[in-house]
Amino acid sequence: MSTPPVSYERTGSASVLRICRPERRNAVDGETAQLLNEGFHRFEQDDDARVLILTGDDVAFCAGADLKALDTLEPTRAEGPLGITRLTASKPTIAAISGWCLAGGVELALWCDLRIATEGSTIGLFERRWGVPLIDGGTQRLPRLIGMGRALELILTGRAVEMDEALRIGLVNEVVPAGKHLERALELAEQLAGFPQETMLSDRRATIGGAGLTLEEGLRLEIVAAANVMETARRGAARFAGGEGRHGKFS
């Protein structure tokens, strides 16, 4: 019996969605895209799963679309050719990256809220070399993350980005020692899971929803979002007034 190309596992407060195609450097074919989609919806429907972690193995996070199986992917698929890239998660997402993160794999990483990568990893839009377009959100998410000038350079040249630069320009949030990417992602997931969820998720929605708005429109969105969670805020303020969390310490 062959190993499924995607695995789903609950670990603490996190759901770990792992691409398992090492023979193809975790490149995505049609079956893999479908299983990523199913794993995403499984996470969304599990109220106890607070954070989704997307990962591969130590050699590769994901090499993008499987160019030997392009006919199995659907460019116009509503959820995105790679299964999830035109969807928006309702809860935090983290990409745990090790090794090669290429082409559509970069777009999967950009789909996540946060990116943890190991030393020695390589990120690059290598599809530029083969005439394959970005079609899983990269042209839209990369400029929002690192700015138009840097994004256009990476999109137009398809050059490799090493981790010191990736950290400096904000392409990744943290760089960790080899083999520690999933451990760190799980640690961060538990930290996020420990916060009052209602307010954190409200702030996340306002941040994501305001990305394409004018400042005035975004401020209105923030006001509405905050108004809906003021009872949680009052309870939190009362806990602080009672002595909890002073001097930056969390109980």
Q: What is the pLDDT of residues 14-61, one digit of tens each?
A: 999 999 999 999 999 999 999 999 999 999 999 999 999 999 999 999
Over residues 184-197, mean pLDDT = 97
The angle formed by the CA atoms of residues 47, 50 and 51, to the nearest 5 degrees, is 135
pLDDT of 250 above 70: no
Q: In terms of pLDDT, which residue wins out, 115 or 247?
A: 115
Element (H, E) at 6: strand 6-11
Decide if 127 is catalytic: yes
Q: In terms of pLDDT, which residue wins out, 137 or 211?
A: 137
197-243: CATH topology: Helix Hairpins (1.10.287)
Q: Which CATH architecture has domain 6-193?
A: Alpha-Beta Complex (3.90)
Choosing from 23, 38, 74, 107, the catalytic residue is 107
The Cβ of residue 246 has, within 10 Å, a number of other Cβ atoms equal to 8
Confidence of residue 251 (pLDDT cuts 50, 70, 90): very low
Choosing from 74, 79, 119, 127, the catalytic residue is 127
**How far lies 121's CA from each of 20, 71, 118, in Å?**
18, 29, 6
Distance (Å, rounded) from C-alpha 98 to C-alpha 57?
A: 7
Confidence of residue 245 (pLDDT cuts 50, 70, 90): low
Nearest CA among 16, 176, 186 for reference residue 6:
16
Decide if 231 is catalytic: no
Cα dihedral value 190, 195, 197, 198, nearest 10 = -170
Question: What pLDDT is stored for residue 227 in this prediction?
Answer: 82
> For a pLDDT cut of 90, what percent of the chain falls above it?
81
- Please check whether residue 199 is in contact with residue 229, taking contact to mean a CB–CB distance below 8 angstroms: yes
The Cβ of residue 216 has, within 10 Å, a number of other Cβ atoms equal to 8
What do you get for the CA distance between the two ends of the chain, in Å? 47
Where in the chain are the domains?
A: 6-193, 197-243
- Please check whether residue 161 is in contact with residue 122, taking contact to mean a CB–CB distance below 8 angstroms: yes
Question: What pLDDT is stored for residue 53 in this prediction?
Answer: 98
Element (H, E) at 101: strand 100-102
- Please check whether residue 141 is in contact with residue 110, taking contact to mean a CB–CB distance below 8 angstroms: yes
pTM: 0.91
* Strand ranges in 110-217 using DSSP code E only, listed in sequence order: 114-118, 122-124, 160-162, 174-176
Over residues 180-192, mean pLDDT = 98
Would you state the structure tokens that stand for residue 233, as one six-digit string? 């805020």
Q: Which residues contact 25 (CB under 8 A, 6 or more apart)?
A: 59, 60, 62, 63, 100, 102
Confidence of residue 237 (pLDDT cuts 50, 70, 90): very low
